[in-house]
């Protein structure tokens, strides 16, 4: 993507800032972020960058931004990213994770905005715990939490706007993304960011459940590759894609791996599982591979790159 005008909601957050930094040298990038989890310091300084501190639930702000800009690409990454946080705050989560999507789609429809692509970040959480693995895009959808319901509803609404109103759109179902600049400072942060923070600062780690729950952990660079492919492929129009690696890793695997790799003991405490927590989540990525996706990192090389950056 070059010489385009791009909006990234959640652009100061983990995935958003990584994407912005990749696009900034050759594009104009506008960021909206409420800085609840993100930080503008994640972003490279650039004359191509416009930073707006505000919430995607603020319709007046969205309208103003769209009045002042004609965007080519919109990456809607702003979200309450934590499944457990959504269980604690279902209504606030809904406003951020669903209403904001509709608000943007409505502006695009009613103001007849012509864009190249709207990319919505959905989640592997939509599949829930239905036991067939790995998850394919056509697998049974059984959301278990407000987070998963809103991600699926948003994703479907985006596809309806694509089909009925010709707002060109695609969606990603991210599995568990990790890497530098993922904020570890909340009990609701991503597991790997918390683990790395515990290793660095010798803090105790809490595991919810027996640690045998498994995820498909995907390194941020592979996620950027996927986002850029999906945004620019003709084939991906109106389509949703799993974004993962296809590999299974349990939390206990991760602790063993980090300890052996760094030679540091982690003080682990096991406690009750979280409500709505998924036991096993692994992706089938054949569909994404058909448009050229070729993930470069397995857990070992991804963790190594992340840890080299952190230590
Ligand atoms: C994660 C993402 C979510 C994404 C989904 C896709 C975050 C915060 N969540 O949800 O945005 O849509 O993947 O699959 O990035 N855990 C502990 N101790 C902790 C923290 C977590 O044991 O201190 C456990 C959780 O109970 C869970 C696992 O680690 O079993 C992963 O949790 P988390 O990193 O929050 O990710 P998901 O819920 O899978």
Whether 266 has a pLDDT exceeding 80, the answer reads: yes
Domain with CATH 3.90.25.10 in the chain: 178-215+247-283+296-310
Distance (Å, rounded) from C-alpha 186 to C-alpha 163? 38
pLDDT of residue 311: 85
User: For 228-263, what is each residue's pLDDT tens digit?
Assistant: 999 999 999 999 999 999 999 999 999 998 888 777
Measured CA to CA, the distance from residue 151 to residue 184 in angstroms comes to 22
What percent of the chain has a predicted confidence (pLDDT) above 90? Answer: 95
Is residue 264 very low, low, confident or very high in pLDDT (cuts 50, 70, 90)? confident
pLDDT classification of 35: cutoffs 50, 70, 90: very high
- Predicted confidence (pLDDT) at residue 64 exceeds the cutoff of 90: yes
**Residue 167 φ then ψ, to 5°:** -90, 105
Strand ranges for 84-213 from DSSP E: 117-123, 169-174, 176-178, 205-208
Give the tens place of pLDDT for each residue, 4-27: 999 999 999 999 999 999 999 999
Per-residue pLDDT reduced to its tens digit, 153-200: 999 999 999 999 999 999 999 999 999 999 999 999 999 999 999 999
pLDDT band at 265 (very low <50, low <70, confident <90, very high): confident
What local confidence, expressed as pLDDT, does residue 44 receive? 98
CB atoms within 10 A of CB 269: 8
Sheet holding 73-76, edge to edge: 49-53, 28-33, 5-9, 73-76, 117-123, 169-174, 240-243
Marked catalytic residue, from 73, 91, 127, 147: 147
Q: Is 147 a catalytic residue?
A: yes
Please, what is the end-to-end C-alpha distance for the chain in angstroms?
A: 32
Architecture of the domain spanning 178-215+247-283+296-310: Alpha-Beta Complex (3.90)
C-beta of residue 75 within 8 angstroms of C-beta of residue 227: yes
User: Does ligand 1 come within 6 angstroms of the Cβ of 125?
Assistant: yes
The band of 59, judged by pLDDT with boundaries at 50, 70 and 90, is: very high
pLDDT at 179: 98
The answer, yes or no, to whether any atom of ligand 1 lies below 6 A from the CB of 82, is yes
Instruction: Give me ligand 1 centre to Cα 82, in Å.
Output: 7
Atom of ligand 1 nearest to the CA of 278: 30
Q: What angle do CA 200, 201, 204 make, to 5 degrees?
A: 110
The predicted complex's ipTM stands at 0.99
Closest C-alpha to 119, from 82, 172, 184, 80: 172
- Residue 275: DSSP 8-state: T
Q: What is the percentage of the chain residues whose pLDDT exceeds 70?
A: 100
Q: Whose CA is nearest to atom 26 of ligand 1?
A: 208
Query: What is the mean predicted confidence (pLDDT) over 282-300?
Result: 97
Q: Is 109 helix (H, G, I), strand (E, B) or coil?
A: helix
Q: What is the mean pLDDT of residues 39-68?
A: 98
- Kindly report the number of other CB atoms within 10 A of residue 158's CB atom: 25
Q: What is the pLDDT of residue 258?
A: 83
Residue 215 Cα: closest atom of ligand 1: 39
Tens of pLDDT along 99-141?
Answer: 999 999 999 999 999 999 999 999 999 999 999 999 999 999 9
Per-residue confidence (pLDDT) for residue 123, from 0 to 100: 98
Mean pLDDT, the chain, integer: 97
pLDDT score recorded for residue 260: 85
Q: What's the CATH code, domain 5-176+219-243? A: 3.40.50.720
**Secondary structure (DSSP) of 144-172:** -SHHHHHHHHHHHHHHHHHHHH---EEEE
Residue with CA at minimum distance from ligand 1 atom 18: 207
Q: Is residue 206 lining ligand 1, measured as CB closer than 6 Å?
A: yes
């Amino acid at each position: 993507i070059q010489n385009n005008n791009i909006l990234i909601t959640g652009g100061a957050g983990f995935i958003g800032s990584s994407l912005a930094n990749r696009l900034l040298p050759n594009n104009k990038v506008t960021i909206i972020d409420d800085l609840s989890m993100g930080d503008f310091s994640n972003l490279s300084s650039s004359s191509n960058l416009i930073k707006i501190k505000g919430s995607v639930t603020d319709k007046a702000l969205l309208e103003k931004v769209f009045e002042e800009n004609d965007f080519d690409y919109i990456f809607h990454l702003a979200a309450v990213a934590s499944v457990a946080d959504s269980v604690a705050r279902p209504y606030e989560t809904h406003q951020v994770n669903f209403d904001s999507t509709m608000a943007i789609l409505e502006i695009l429809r009613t103001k007849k905005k012509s864009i190249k692509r709207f990319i919505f970040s959905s989640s592997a959480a939509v599949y829930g715990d239905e036991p067939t693995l790995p998850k394919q895009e056509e697998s049974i959808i059984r959301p278990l939490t407000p987070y998963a319901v809103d991600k699926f509803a948003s994703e479907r609404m985006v596809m309806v706007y694509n089909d009925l109103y010709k707002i060109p759109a695609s969606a990603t179902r991210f599995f568990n993304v990790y890497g530098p600049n993922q904020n570890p400072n909340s009990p609701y942060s991503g597991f790997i960011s918390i683990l790395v923070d515990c290793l660095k600062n010798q803090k105790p780690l809490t595991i919810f459940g027996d640690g045998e729950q498994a995820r498909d952990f995907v390194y941020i660079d592979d996620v950027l590759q996927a986002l850029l492919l999906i945004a620019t492929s003709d084939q991906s129009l109106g389509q949703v894609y799993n974004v993962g690696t296809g590999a299974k890793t349990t939390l206990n695997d991760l602790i063993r791996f980090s300890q052996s790799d760094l030679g540091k003991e982690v003080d682990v405490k096991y406690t009750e599982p979280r409500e709505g927590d998924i036991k096993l989540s692994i992706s089938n990525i054949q569909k994404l591979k058909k448009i050229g996706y070729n993930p470069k990192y397995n857990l070992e090389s991804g963790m190594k790159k992340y840890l080299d950056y952190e230590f």
